[in-house]
Amino acid sequence: MLTKKGIPVSPGVAIAPAMVLDGEDQPIPRRTVAPNQVPKELARLDDALKASTAEVLELKDKTTARVGPELAAIFGFHVGMLADKTLVGEFRGAIENQRVTAEFAVYSVLKAMGKKFLQADSRYMRERVTDVWDLERRILRHLIGKTRDELGQLETSAVIIAHDLTPSQTASLDRSKIKGIATDAGGMTSHTAILAHALGIPAIVGLEDITRKVNTGDMVVIDGKRGIITIDPDAEQLMMSRKQADRMVAFEDKLGEIRDLPPETKDGTDINLQANIEFPNEIEQALNNGAKGIGLYRTEFLYLAATTEPTEEEQYQTYLEAINNLKGLPLTVRTLDLGADKMDKFHNTGTDASERNPFLGCRSIRLCLQNLPLFKVQLRAILRASTAGPVRIMFPLISNIMELRQSRMILGDVMEDLEEQGIPYRENIPVGIMVEVPSVAIQAKTFCQEVDFMSIGTNDLIQYTVAVDRGNERIASLYSGAHPAVILLIRDVIRAADKASVDISLCGEMASVPEYTMLLIGLGLRSMSITPPALPEIKQIIRAVSIDQCRRVARKAATFDSDREVANYLRDQLGKAMPGVFDGRSIGY
């Protein structure tokens, strides 16, 4: 049995035999043709390009129908490349001038193009290289037949193990056969990650060498929530994973009942349970799972899924869609939080010299404050949409009070511009911040004087408090929400907010982990925003405990010196509060 931790990108448990895809495609040999064969090669090229375009357009339509237009926009880039006169001219030029076969022309031109993309300064361009390889495979398939197993035609259930998957491979997966995905490469924002999440396929990326550790046919277990893959699980592990998977299925079956029950403790205290989303089309699932609103809308995914920077109008329409989908429920829009954690880990290995310490670098609000036009376009779009429903604006990664003041000032400027132009917006729109840097947590009392609400972002707060990169699997055991220092910070922020009557919530992953629910409520938290699939599970715990019981748990947890003791204690208490439901699981982090 072997266990490996990667980057969790799509929750769920998958248990199935592995299907390992071959890492690299075979190179195409350079073959020349007689001069009189050149027109025939050109005709073959034209046919392959036409067939590829038709295929991509069909895939785009299918993807739009399955997961919405934002994700399908990925294929717009492919259609654009297939119609690009310069690129097609290069293919034709190679055939006419070097008299090579159509397949070698396509192969050599796209290989050179891919290399250029990989060397680009922009991380965005480097990430587009998978689109180039995707296109190469597609055109070559029309020229020389199948080059790789077709994932849409699997006969039995499998977990796909691959070096990387291209966007079209992921989009064409047969959901009934593909139980999970694990890849060597990729980051949280790779297209594979975004699509797998939207398709509901458990997935882990960034496993580095998983293709070398697994053979086709090996039994594997994927825990897409924690990012853990187990190869050849022993009987005990298999039993635990099956239990976990069954529990999830049972939960789904029970969703109907749980969804409409209030998220209140045994003694009748209401907990405001909201959801985190990346795209407006996730709202439906969040509402089906009982969310009372969206406490964190990560708008940067709009930028990451698009091929060009989204315009004000595009953003406005997207925010409006989110507001309309919520039918009057509240929406907290977080402004652009682009940072190292959102970038592709595989292609971000020291090439970007200007960001030697990306997590401490120009990310998030810092990036916005250095790119005011970009920031203002987003603020305009949010403000314009805010007349349609109860919207709040939240600034991420604030680390000192001047950043907050500057951000508010820019928001004020944008409001003035809109006023001058006679464009309506919500004048009293609540403005808040993420508390995800220890300096802000420590100074919470000061910040409370200048915000309408705060949301604790434990994903970053943990990494900055204990100095552990949240995406680095080699030190993952040091990254813990149960660290006593993290608990003290959370407690103090909640206290400061309560004292100042500032609305306080927590939207980091900690709120989605069952073992932390009693602790957080015991620390005084009455509002959480969590990943949509975790809503029923967390609501079930809320309904099974009392405030007094939670306070006792929080008081006792604060007496331990190490995260391990805290984690063991919390696991124990959850087991006691809900016997038989959470036995034998690990706290995750």
> Closer to ligand PEP at the Cβ: 241 or 458?
458
Q: Is 189 a binder of ligand PEP (CB under 6 A)?
A: no
Q: Is 460 a binder of Mg ion (CB under 5 A)?
A: yes
Q: How far is it, in rounded angstroms, from Cα 352 to Cα 368? A: 19
> Closer to ligand PEP at the Cβ: 82 or 506?
506
Map tokens 């592995």 to a residue: 18
Task: Residue 570: count other Cβ atoms within 10 Å of its Cβ.
Answer: 25
Q: How far is it, in rounded angstroms, from Cα 417 to Cα 223? A: 49
Query: Of the listed 191, 197, 347, 483, which one is catalytic?
Result: 191
Near ligand PEP in 60-79, by CB under 6 A: none
* Radius of gyration of the CA atoms of the chain, in A: 25
> Closer to ligand PEP at the Cβ: 181 or 507?
507
Find the binder of ligand PEP among 131, 282, 436, 515 (CB under 6 A).
436
> Closer to ligand PEP at the Cβ: 82 or 394?
394
Q: Is 460 a binder of ligand PEP (CB under 6 A)?
A: yes
Please count the CA atoms within 13 angstroms of the CA of 309 that sit on its side-chain side: 10
Whether 507 is catalytic is yes
What does 298 bind: ligand PEP, Mg ion, none (CB cut-off 5 to 8 Å by kind)? ligand PEP
Specify the 3-state DSSP secondary structure of 229.
strand
At closest approach, how far in Å is the CB of 512 from ligand PEP? 10
Give every CB contact of residue 432 below 8 A, 6+ residues apart in sequence.
332, 392, 393, 394, 395, 451, 452, 453, 454, 455, 503
What does 131 bind: ligand PEP, Mg ion, none (CB cut-off 5 to 8 Å by kind)? none
At closest approach, how far in Å is the CB of 295 from Mg ion? 13
Whether 191 is catalytic is yes
At closest approach, how far in Å is the CB of 459 from ligand PEP? 3
Among the listed ranges 223-231, 371-379, 456-464, 544-552, the one in contact with ligand PEP (CB under 6 A) is 456-464
What does 171 bind: Mg ion, ligand PEP, none (CB cut-off 5 to 8 Å by kind)? none
3-class DSSP string for 143-210: HHCCCCCCHHHCCCCEEEEECCCCHHHHHCCCCCCEEEEEECCCCCCCHHHHHHHHHCCCEEECCCCH
Q: Is 457 a binder of ligand PEP (CB under 6 A)?
A: yes
Q: Is 206 a binder of Mg ion (CB under 5 A)?
A: no
- Which amino acid is residue 413, in one-letter code? D
Q: How far is it, in rounded angstroms, from Cα 295 to Cα 127? A: 29
Give every CB contact of residue 413 below 8 A, 6+ residues apart in sequence.
376
Near ligand PEP in 283-302, by CB under 6 A: 296, 298
> Closer to ligand PEP at the Cβ: 168 or 407?
407
Q: Report the C-alpha dihedral over residues 228, 250, 513, 231, rounded to 10 degrees.
A: -10
Structure-block tokens of residue 245: 């998977």
> Closer to ligand PEP at the Cβ: 13 or 296?
296
Q: Is 337 a binder of ligand PEP (CB under 6 A)?
A: yes
Distance set, CA 286 to CA 188, 259, 276 (Å): 20, 10, 8
Q: Where are the beta strands (DSSP E) in 339-485?
A: 391-395, 431-435, 453-456
Q: How far is it, in rounded angstroms, from Cα 226 to Cα 7? A: 8
At closest approach, how far in Å is the CB of 529 from ligand PEP? 8
> Closer to ligand PEP at the Cβ: 109 or 435?
435
At closest approach, how far in Å is the CB of 299 from ligand PEP? 10
The DSSP secondary structure of 411-425, one letter per residue, reads HHHHHHHHHHTT---
Near ligand PEP in 496-535, by CB under 6 A: 507-508
What residues are annotated to the active site? 191, 507
Residues lying near Mg ion in the complex (CB under 5 A): 436, 457, 460
Q: Interface with ligand PEP by CB under 6 A: which residues?
A: 296, 298, 337, 341, 436, 457-460, 507-508
